[in-house]
């Protein structure tokens, strides 16, 4: 007697012909349906778009996207698309009316004998969020025969008021336990490993505090520029695009207290506590920059204001550096430095914990030497892993110190890592919200960083291919600190 057939869940993507679906979601969905357990392998995917496509055209688009991403061969992608994909076009329907979509979802659930469980994934521009959410509620798509889970991408609001308004709108149709706000950085293995690294290794957790740490720096540097996103980016800027979301999340994981368990809300409670304990950002503690013409990887780059689609007098920041204080018992008085920018010298996402120097230095002047504090560098991309810097004595009679690194690389131990989307999609299907951002997290983050939007620092130019404005170096220099070299 054969095994009973697994009844598939239905994964509905609104905005299924856009850039996110092409670059991230399709490869992730292909990966989890071909390499995980039977429940995910049976997943039924319904793409929705306003393009007047047929199902055949949508499947052809999916095959081209998977081949271009090197996620599958053409024959494998074709067979996969025929087995998993369906399509719904809104082209012939009145705007903001999802009655036709409801009919097709019910038809899919009947003919494909699905489990009755639904994932509704908004892969749409932010301005489309409110009308789409209202239409979902009006059509009753938020309630089905099984569970329904609602997934929404960033940016989640443009400030505190809009984030609160969006949360209220979502909560009219969905309970918070059904809402999954994606920050794809949280799906990366190295980000998840922060919890393991800190709380499974007493060697590090015992020194993870103001008694042993001098400062912490978090860098998310991008070599790329706007990449055909000028219309979005010029209305958004680096603070909304990166600081309020990605960097704030990395900060919470680095600074949080030990949760009572790994249950989702216990972890997220501790992250919210970090955001609530952040001191107000003083004007002198924030640096905004905008790139000018320069060279990145040997290629000439035009200045931001001369990029196609950017306003010639634009004051949008492409670089942010900020000093933050965490008013907690563990971190009081210890600065956290955050920076991010477009067209910087190299691609790098890294957390550096710089430990204090010995209180008494009795080695005296050393040949060609200077005192180096111990540092722990946790690299999230591109070469995922960590390095622990320490001092050793050079061989020979004289006392001469030299810095060396202990290192671990994920690629050496486990091979290439995914970009985080397969992990996050599987967590949605499993109902695990640990790696997703809760409503109060979003609002607390906007509370901290929103004032910089109302009273922004002046924009300082920096050449493309550099590490940002000189003022970003001076931000640390006032306290005798400096950014860790890449």
CATH architecture of the domain formed by 10-153:
3-Layer(aba) Sandwich (3.40)
246 is catalytic: yes
- Tens digit of each residue's pLDDT (9 = 90 or more) over 147-167: 999 999 988 999 999 999 999
Strand pairing category for 118-122 and 85-89? unpaired
> For the chain, how long is the longest CA-to-CA vector?
84
Portion of the chain with pLDDT greater than 90, in percent: 72
φ/ψ region of 162 (left if φ > 0, alpha if ψ in -120 to 50, else beta) reads alpha
Q: For residue 437, is pLDDT > 60?
A: yes
Catalytic one of 88, 246, 332, 343? 246
| Integer Cα distance of 159 and 238 in angstroms | 14
Portion of the chain with pLDDT greater than 70, in percent: 95
- Render 329-390 in DSSP notation, one character per residue: TTTTT-EEEEEEESS-SS-EEEEEEEEPPPSS--S-S-TT------EEEEEEESS-EEEEEE
- Tens digit of each residue's pLDDT (9 = 90 or more) over 107-119: 999 999 999 999 9
| Integer Cα distance of 450 and 59 in angstroms | 42
What is the spatial order of strands in the sheet that 85-89 belongs to? 85-89, 44-49, 10-14, 118-122, 148-152, 179-181
Cβ neighbour number for residue 397 with a 10 Å cutoff: 5
Record the pTM: 0.91
Give the residue extent of every domain in the chain. Answer: 10-153, 186-417+438-477
Which CATH superfamily hosts domain 186-417+438-477?
A: Dihydrodipicolinate Reductase; domain 2 (3.30.360.10)
Q: For residue 176, is pLDDT > 80?
A: yes
Contact 462, 289 (CB under 8 A): yes
């Amino acid at each position: 007697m054969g095994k009973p057939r697994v009844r598939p869940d239905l994964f509905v993507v609104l905005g299924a012909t856009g850039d996110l679906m092409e670059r991230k979601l399709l490869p992730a969905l292909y990966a989890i349906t071909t390499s995980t357990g039977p429940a995910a392998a049976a997943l039924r995917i319904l793409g929705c778009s306003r393009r007047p496509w047929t199902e055949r055209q949508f499947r052809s688009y999916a095959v081209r996207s998977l081949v271009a991403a090197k996620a599958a061969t053409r024959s494998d992608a074709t067979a996969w698309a025929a087995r998993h994909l369906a399509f719904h076009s809104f082209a012939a329907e009145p705007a903001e009316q999802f009655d036709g979509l409801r009919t097709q979802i019910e038809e899919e659930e009947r003919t494909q004998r699905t489990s009755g469980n639904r994932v509704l994934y908004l892969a749409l521009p932010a301005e489309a969020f409110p009308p789409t959410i209202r239409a979902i509620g009006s059509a009753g798509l938020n309630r089905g025969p099984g569970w329904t889970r609602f997934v929404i991408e960033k940016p989640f609001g443009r400030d505190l008021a809009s984030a609160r308004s969006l949360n209220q709108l979502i909560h009219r149709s969905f309970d918070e336990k059904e809402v999954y706000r994606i920050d794809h950085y949280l799906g990366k293995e190295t980000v998840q490993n922060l919890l393991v690294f800190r709380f499974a290794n007493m060697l590090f957790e015992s020194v993870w505090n103001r008694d042993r740490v001098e400062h912490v720096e978090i860098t998310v540097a991008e070599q790329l520029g706007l990449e055909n996103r000028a219309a979005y980016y010029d209305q958004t800027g680096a603070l909304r695009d990166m600081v309020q979301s990605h960097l704030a999340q990395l900060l919470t994981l680095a600074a949080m207290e030990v949760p009572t368990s790994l249950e989702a809300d216990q972890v997220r409670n501790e992250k919210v506590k970090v955001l609530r304990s952040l001191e107000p950002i003083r004007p002198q503690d924030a640096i905004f920059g905008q790139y000018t013409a320069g060279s990145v990887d040997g290629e000439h780059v035009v200045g931001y204001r001369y990029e196609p689609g950017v306003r010639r007098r634009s004051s949008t920041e492409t670089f942010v550096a900020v000093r933050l204080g965490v008013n907690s018992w563990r971190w009081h008085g210890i600065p956290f430095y955050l920076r991010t920018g477009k067209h910087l010298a190299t691609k790098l996402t890294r957390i550096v914990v710089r430990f204090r120097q010995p209180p008494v230095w009795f080695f005296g002047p050393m040949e060609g030497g200077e005192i180096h504090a111990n540092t722990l560098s946790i690299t999230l991309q591109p070469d995922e892993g960590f390095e622990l810097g320490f001092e050793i004595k050079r061989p020979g009679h004289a006392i001469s110190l030299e810095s060396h690194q202990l290192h671990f690389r994920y690629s050496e131990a486990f091979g290439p890592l995914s970009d985080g989307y397969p992990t996050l999609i599987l967590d949605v299907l499993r109902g695990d919200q640990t790696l997703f951002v809760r409503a109060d997290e979003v609002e607390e983050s906007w509370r901290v960083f929103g004032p910089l939007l109302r009273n922004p620092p002046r924009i300082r130019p920096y050449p493309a291919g550099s590490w940002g404005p000189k003022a970003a170096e001076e931000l640390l220099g006032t306290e005798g600190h400096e950014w860790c070299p890449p």
